[in-house]
Amino acid sequence: MIDQAKVDVTSDDALLASLDSRPLAAQQAEADAVSGRVGRALELAAKHLEPKVRMINLERSTLRSEQDVRGWLERQEKVLVAEVKKGPVLVS
């Protein structure tokens, strides 16, 4: 795991110096990586509790109508039922 630098917040000047020491893009990339780390932690926790669990991804889609929702639900139900027959799944 990457060691994250501590931000000095003891004064306004110290905070500004800490923030100026790293490019904003690097700080944004680090913040964006948090959701990936959380997802990985959830996956590892699920595997610890249920060692045979498998990750599956559901279809990503833009739904514009009730009919779109119903169609998406039908497709995902087929996927989920088929996968859960093979063993426990963690939906992503």
Mind listing the pLDDT tens digit for each residue in 31-77? 888 888 887 888 788 777 777 888 899 999 999 999 999 999 999 99
Task: Find which of 3-7, 10-14, 19-23 is predicted with most confidence, using mean pLDDT.
Answer: 10-14
What 3-state class would DSSP assign to 5?
coil
Q: What does the H/E/C string look like for 21-40?
A: CCCHHHHHHHHHHHHHHHHH
Using left for φ > 0, alpha for ψ between -120 and 50, and beta otherwise, residue 4 falls in beta
